Each structure stands twice: as structure tokens, then as C-alpha cells.
Amino acid sequence: MNYRLPINTIKEQIEAKLQHNFGLTLENATDDQCYKAVVLVVRDLMVKGYLEFKKRAEETHTKRVYYLCMEFLMGRSLKNNLYNLGIEEDFRKALSEMGLKLDNLYEKEPDAGLGNGGLGRLAACFLDGLSTQGYPAMGYSLCYEYGIFRQKLVDGWQTELPDFWLPGGKVWLQEVPEKRVEVHFGGHIEEYWNNQYHIVNHKDYEKVMAVPYDMYVSGMDGRGINVLRIWSARGEAFDMSRFNSGDYLRAMEQNAMAEVITKVLYPEDNHLEGKSLRLSQQYFLVSATIQDIIRRHLFKYSTLDNLPDCVAIHLNDTHPVLAIPEMMRVMLDECGYTWEAAWDIVTRTTAYTNHTVMAEALECWNEELFKFRLPRIYQIVQEINRRFCESMHQRHVDGYKVGRMAPLNDGYVKMANLAVISSHSVNGVSALHSDILKETVFNDFYTEMPEKFQNVTNGIAHRRWLNQSNPELASLLTEKIGDGYIHDAAQLEKFLEFKDDASVLEQLGKIKRDNKVRLAEYIKKANNIVLDPDSIFDIQIKRMHEYKRQHLNALHILTLYQWLRDNPNADFTPHTYIFGAKAAAGYYFAKQMIRFIVNLAETINNDPRVNQKLKVVYVEDYRVTLAELLTPAADISEQISQAGTEASGTSNMKFMINGAVTLGTLDGANVEIHEAVGDDNIILFGMTTPEVSALKRSGYRPRVFYENNPIIRNAIDEMNKGFCGVSFRNITDSLLNEDPYMVLADFESYSQAQKRAEALYNDHARWNQMGLVNIAKAGRFAADRAIREYADNIWHATPVPPAPAADKTVKATVKKPIFKKMR
């Protein structure tokens, strides 16, 4: 479909939207209203493209992918969709003739509050890749009213404020009220036999309505347009009789309690109510989604027998794993399938991606809570557990091993175990991570069912993180190697031809400096800190977590500060260290890490002895829009998690494609980045995964490093005294007594890596060459490649053919009755 419109038509449609939707003329409209009018015009184009794409998919019986994830970190959509549809310059010209600036309208859009970190951003990149390559797909998540939270730093302490994204973001959402479904919680189960039929009744349950909102996601050139369907929770009905009798609070209570489900992403769960809400959120997502998928399939085929041939359901991490027992419930209770027939269909349809080796992320639910909130689902999980354990015992598997693999054990429902048992494919997201899963986390399963385990290394939407975020670099690439890399990121490899071209290397250096100037202007405005764009911009942006080791970075900065205080006239290349991260609301230690970095930054930035050489910036309220500004400006990409803890990482890929040099451990996808660029174009430090394991086995004693290294000792002693009147003894106590992620063990190696980075940076031609090699080798980390691997090896899906099949006699799968007798 051609999405381009004549300039006059664009202007007319924008003015029509202003008039019909806001009752305004252009002269009276604000930029915010003009932004919404433009979005409505673009959304109409996307709806038309989606309907055409959907029609082609249905006519060709192309397999559909359903991607379930608790979060989709979409960022802003207007610029992305205008770029992908190839109409950005048309709209820019039309708006200019109307006296408006497109860039000003971009700033009116909030980041969609539907995600938090790498998990959600990956899901968003995958929707882009699915659409670009023409795979019919739907993403499913929840319509969080307040998103994750807006971060405000008060005296260095993270304060969480509501993220009011919907007023500006809802214009992208199209409500589909006729597709609403019921989701049931609590109550009790009645079971009995009526002649040969097994009857299961769910009684006295709490009913919550799931109302879908659709957000359209365009691929490059508009080849495919897919949908992200997000569910909003509503109460069943307003209790007018209670209200009229004066019981106002009780009348409102049912609606209020239902709507809490989709208020906030990841509510704090360090109390029973929080745990119950999180469980409710997860079941609400999967129940609404599975009902929607099955209803759509039955409408077309009138049977679920062919579901695995027509549909792939992908569970992104453990949060949506309840889709498996929910699908069994629908097939058993509502469609009349036998257990064996339903289980065969479910297990051939669903696949699972694991994203972590962190124990806290491998979710376990208290059995009593689970049974109370989801009584029928609990029964089904019990039966899955019974049958699985029975099958393992029949194979003479050791009883202790069966217990470790069981989805129900020790009073907990173990979601990761349930996922592995019930899926036909289980994959990690980097080569190292997948090996760790097989060797440790899921070793019991791997030894019994090795055929299930695969690897698909993560990827990024390179068009967004390169072409849109770094237009100067994209222009240089297009000039030197053509624009084929836009569709096929592997063609970036052609850029290697210029690694010895002094002119190209000089241009790369200028582009990097321009991006640093742009970031410095933002930081001057937002933080009132003046940065030197000729200093080394060393950036670490990701979730705040102990295993990501921002405190290793900060501890090293403190040692630099101490050295510069003692040697103010020493030869030192100016450094700017930049952090951006949110900590989970209840993660006290991570909040203390933020406070340490912020207070250390304030101390350094206000010390005239060092602040011309050393600056530290903590960027508040880190989000996708800020990442698009930060990533192109980085000289050094900090990827310093302890080896064996990061599943993959994607910020490393975004930095790499923008010409930053990775300073990191051999962890996650860093291993594959190292493999791609070679020893000379990455700065590695620290222990490897086997070395970490060996040190743990031998008995790690972190205090030894404090006692034997005066640099570490002086830094920790100063942390105990504190900055800005705050002592950080709780961090130092952890480092000295536990140090769970071996910060002190890797500190000296990290310090030496920083010195190597400084020396390399000072050879500007060499540094720019390293950046060029990283750009050229980044193609393998495109989401398009990852999607093709999922499609070929896991989903067994193909793209929609570009035109309807020539043979008009193709027939749909033979329809069969919906209901089957239970045996």
C-alpha cells in the first residue's frame, strides 16, 4: 500500500480532525491538539494498511504469531510511524505550510507507559521486526494507566510519581469494546458427572471485564502493520441499588477494585496485597488474551484441532505462563476436549523465552494464594503436575530430580518449571545465557528433554536506534554503502571498507561530537551542569540493580576523584560519566546505589579542584526518549555485569551500532559482540563465568581485597564517612561481608580497563576506527535477524506473500464441531 498523500490532502485532513474531534480551527489550536490531530490522520492510514495486510494474511492462510509480554516499552510512536511509512518529509512540509513545526509536535508525545526495561523494549523491537518482514502478529499486554512511574530525585533519593501518559498517549489507542471478555477470580469449584459428561462449574466468582485497546505498529515501508492489543480492567456494573440506599463507598468498591488491576505496571509485592495484585494482573492478561485468540480462531475454523498449524503463541518470560493452564481450562471446560487432546494442542502451540538466571525473576507463587485467587487454574496445574511427575517416575527419573522439576513443590507454584514442561520450545537470549540455562538453571530438564532447548540472541530495531536516533550517521552510511542496510542490517558490514579511510574516520569523529553537543545542551537545561563535549562520554543506562554493578562504576569514579584531589595538576583526559536508571519501588539497596551516585556527583561537580576534568551526571526519569538522545553520544558503553548474570542485554547493541566502544565483561551478548569485533575493538575486563563459579566454590572473601588494596580501602572508608551528609555504610557492609556480585574481585581489572580506554581514546584515529568496526559488525544484532530465527526454528511461520496466491481454489481447513465428549 502507498501511504503517501498530496500535501494539500494532509493539510485538509489535519484541519478536519481539529474541527471534528476538538471543535477548533487551526488558528485556535494548541500544539498539543495539533499533535493529536496529526496522530489521528496517521492512525487512519495505518488502520487502512492493517486491514489490507490482515486480508492478505487470511487469504493465504499465513500462520499468525501471538506475542505475550507483561510490558511493551514502545517509546514515542509518531516519529517512528512517519519514518516507517515513508511520509515524514511530506508531513513536515505540510505542517510547515500550516505554520507548525513537526519537531515541536514530536515533543508533545509522552513515552507510552507500558514498560520498564530491556524486556519491554525487546518486545517493542520484535513487533517492529515482525511488521517489517511481513509476519502477521499481535502483541498482548495490559493498558497500564500510570505505567511504571516517573522518577524524581529528592536529595538523591528516588521518589516515585505517577506517570500520566494516557492523556497524550491514548490518541494512539483504538478501543474495541465489542471484543471485551470476562475474567473470573476467586469463588469455588463444583465438579460432578452427568451421565458420561464431566461438568465443572465455577461458582461465586469475582467478575472483571477486560476491554481491549489496539495500538497499530508499522513496519518499514508499511509492508506489514500489526497490532499491540492491551487490556484495560473494568468492573462488571455499577451497583445502583447500593448507591441509592446511601451505601456510596460499597457501590463504588467493585469497580475500583477491578480497575486496580491495570493501574500500575509491577506494583510493589513485598506484602500480601501486592503479591495478590501481581498474580491477578498476570492472570487477567492471559485469560483475556487466550479467550481472544481462541474466539478469533473458532470464528474462522470452527475447531481448535488445527490451532498449532495456524497459530504460534509465544510467552516472553515467566509473567504470561498462566496462559498454558488457562488455555487448558478453555479447551476442557468450554470446548469439551479430552485432557490428552487439549494437552497435545497446547504444547504444540506455545513456546517460552527465558530472560534471566536471577532467582527472583523465576517466579514462584504461594500455593494457598494461588488456590484462593485462581481455584480452577490451580486444579489444572495440579493435574499437569501429577501427570508430569508420573511420566518422569515411569522413566525411572530420580525422585529428588522430579521434585526439582515439578511445577508444584514445597508449597509453591513454580512458573518457570510450568513453562518448560508445557512448551515445545525453550530458548535463551544469548549464546552464553542459553548454555547457562542448560548447564544450571534448567539442567534437570535439559538432561531429560534436550530437544526443547534453543538459542535466539536478542536484537534491536536498528532503524529506530540508528536511522532515527542518529540521522547524521545514517546519512554517512547511506552515502558510503547505500541504503540497503535499512532493510538488511547485515549490509552494514560493507562499511568495513572504510576503516582505513582518514576522511571517513574524521567524519565519524565529527558526528560523534555533534551528538555529544546535543546531549550536553539537554543536560545543561535539565541538570544545570555544563559538560565538555571533548571529554570522554562514558555512559551506563539500564535498570538499577546490584547485578548490573552500577556501584562498581561509581566506586571507580570515587577512586578517580580521590586521586585527582591529591594530584590536581596531573595529566588526565577529562571524563564525563553519565548514568540513567530507575530502581524498583521496593528495592531499597538499588535506591541506595542511586543516592550514592547522585551525592557523589554533587560532591565532584561542585569541587573546583577537579570539576574541570571530571563530571558525573545522573539523568532523571530515564526512558526510551532519553535513550535515543544518550546512545548516539556515548564514547564508552558500560556493560559491566558480573559474568554469568546478564541474559543478553540490548543497550550494548544500541551503543555498538552507534559507534560506541564496549567496556565490559564477557557476559550476555558481550560474548558475541567480542566474537564479532575481535580483541582490538572491545575493552574487556573481569572474571569469566567459569572463573566466577570457581571463586564461589573456593570461598569468596571480599574483605581480603579491602585489606590488600589501599585504593579500595580509601574509597570504602570515604563512603562510610559519606557525601552530602549521608553515609553509605549499608553499601560498604554489603561489599565487605557478602559482595554477591563480586565488585571488589573485579575492581582492579576494571580500573586497568578504564586506563586502557583512556589511552585508546587519545589516539583519535584509532578510536574512531574502533567505532567504525563496531558499527559495521552490528548487523547481526538486528531484531529482523532474531525474528527470522524465531520464525524458522520455533514458530515455523512464514511472511505474508506480497500478493494473493494465483490459485483461487485454495480452501480453508475442513471445519469440525467445536464440542467433544470427555473420556
Which residues are annotated as catalytic? 355, 542-543, 548, 650, 654
Long-range (24+ apart) CB contacts under 8 A made by 44-48 are 44/13, 45/3, 45/5, 45/85, 45/87, 46/81, 46/85, 46/216, 46/218, 46/225, 47/174, 47/216, 48/1
Least Cα distance to 658 among 467, 429, 430, 457 occurs for 467
Q: How far is CA 592 from CA 403, 546, 728, 731, in A?
A: 38, 11, 8, 8
Cα distance between residue 444 and residue 424, in whole Å: 16
Say what the alpha-carbon torsion angle 376, 381, 385, 388 is, to the nearest 10 degrees: 110
Q: At 688, which amino acid appears?
A: T
Cα distance between residue 146 and residue 169, in whole Å: 11
Q: Is 6 left (phi over 0), alpha (psi -120 to 50) or beta?
A: beta
Contacts of 191 (CB under 8 A, 6+ apart): 198, 199, 200, 201
Residue position matching grid coordinates 566506586: 555
Q: How far is CA 784 from CA 190, 464, 606, 609, 805, in A?
A: 48, 12, 46, 49, 25
Contacts of 443 (CB under 8 A, 6+ apart): none
Cα distance between residue 601 and residue 591, in whole Å: 15
Phi, psi (degrees; rounded to nearest 5) at 736: -80, -30
Cα distance between residue 124 and residue 228, in whole Å: 9
Q: At 415, which amino acid appears?
A: M
Is the four-CA dihedral 30, 33, 39, 40 of positive or negative sign? negative
Cα distance between residue 254 and residue 794, in whole Å: 42
Residue 626, CB half-sphere, CA atoms under 13 Å: how many? 20
Say what the alpha-carbon torsion angle 434, 439, 443, 449 is, to the nearest 10 degrees: 60
b/e burial code for range 646-660 (CB count within 10 A of at least 16 → b)? bbbbbbbbbbbbbbb
Decide if 311 contacts 294 (C-beta within 8 A): no
Say what the alpha-carbon torsion angle 296, 200, 346, 232 is, to the nearest 10 degrees: 50
Count CB-CB contacts under 10 A for residue 9: 13
Q: How far is CA 246 from CA 211, 236, 237, 253, in A?
A: 29, 20, 17, 13
Least Cα distance to 648 among 229, 291, 356, 323 occurs for 356
Helices (H), 687-782: 689-698, 703-708, 710-721, 729-737, 743-762, 764-776
Cα distance between residue 43 and residue 136, in whole Å: 18
Q: Is 613 helix (H, G, I), strand (E, B) or coil?
A: coil
Helices 588-605 and 550-566 sit at what angle, rounded to 10 degrees?
A: 20
Cα distance between residue 77 and residue 106, in whole Å: 9
How many helices (DSSP H) and strands (DSSP E) are in the chain? 34, 23
Cα distance between residue 281 and residue 391, in whole Å: 32
Phi, psi (degrees; rounded to nearest 5) at 217: -125, 115
Q: Is 304 left (phi over 0), alpha (psi -120 to 50) or beta?
A: alpha
